[in-house]
Chain A
Amino acid sequence: DTAVSQTPKYLVTQMGNDKSIKCEQNLGHDTMYWYKQDSKKFLKIMFSYNNKELIINETVPNRFSPKSPDKAHLNLHINSLELGDSAVYFCASTGGTEAFFGQGTRLTVV
């Protein structure tokens, strides 16, 4: 039983396209995140939602828009994709202490 699941696992798309990544958690947590891991493997927070409310919005281009339809789901929509958006995107959730991560979505923009 996967605790935090994201789809798709791989995403290859052309510059200028719009794409979405979906995330679901079955842990009953109130808080969910999106993290970005760059080519140097450095994990950096992008957004956090608590009970469907946006609570963290780091310095991220406004082409990135998270959406949380309910507290078990947090999706990430990216408009007008650029080469520099290529990275691995991780969804995570927490009940207040440790965070649990999904398997990641490797996004490649060509």
Chain B
Amino acid sequence: EDQVTQSPEALRLQEGESSSLNCSYTVSGLRGLFWYRQDPGKGPEFLFTLYSAGEEKEKERLKATLTKKESFLHITAPKPEDSATYLCAVQASGGYNKLIFGAGTRLAVHP
């Protein structure tokens, strides 16, 4: 069964303290791995898509990497406005573009 596990469940950082979020996945043929950001009371906002092991994508203070079993979202020198829930999702080959989500990591960045 296709599955996504994210860790940690919650993470508290001081402003400027870099860290990484983990997304482990099991999927029958990975078509793509997606990272989203969700703010309270809003819908998930797309960040990155990764398609193959070794691929990396960057946006401002965020960098996403992918291996055959997991993905990391690295946050460099975070700011309070980076506080949100970060969701990881996978799309399996032949899955009609269905996204299978992990439970998310709640990130709080304090000044």
Q: Which residues of A contact B (CB under 8 A)?
A: 4, 31, 33, 40-45, 48, 50, 55-56, 90, 92, 94, 96-104
Whether B98 is near chain A, meaning CB under 8 Å from some CB there, is: yes
Whether B104 is near chain A, meaning CB under 8 Å from some CB there, is: yes
Whether B22 is near chain A, meaning CB under 8 Å from some CB there, is: no
B99–A97 touching, CB < 8 Å = no
Cβ contacts B80-110/A at 8 Å (1 or 0 each)? 0000010101000000111111011000000
Contact for B101 among A4, A44, A55, A102, CB less than 8 A: A44
Give A31 to B99 CA distance when docked, in angstroms.
Answer: 12
Q: Which residue of the partner chain A has the closest CB to B104?
A: A41
Contact for B103 among A31, A42, A45, A55, CB less than 8 A: A42
Q: Bin chain B's interface residue count.
A: 20 to 34
Contact for A104 among B32, B42, B97, CB less than 8 A: B42
A55–B96 touching, CB < 8 Å = yes
Give A4 to B44 CA distance when docked, in angstroms.
Answer: 12
Identify which of A41, A55, A90, A96 gathers the most chain B CB atoms within 10 Å of its CB.
A41
| A98 in contact with B46 given A40-B103, A41-B104, A43-B87 (CB within 8 Å) | yes
* Residues of the B chain whose Cβ atoms lie less than 8 Å from the Cβ of A56: 96, 98
Identify which of A4, A33, A42, A98 gathers the most chain B CB atoms within 10 Å of its CB.
A98
Contact for B43 among A42, A55, A90, CB less than 8 A: A90
| A31 in contact with B43 given A97-B32, A98-B34, A98-B49 (CB within 8 Å) | no
B46–A50 touching, CB < 8 Å = no
* Residues of the B chain whose Cβ atoms lie less than 8 Å from the Cβ of A98: 32, 34, 46, 49
Contact for B42 among A43, A97, A100, A103, CB less than 8 A: A103
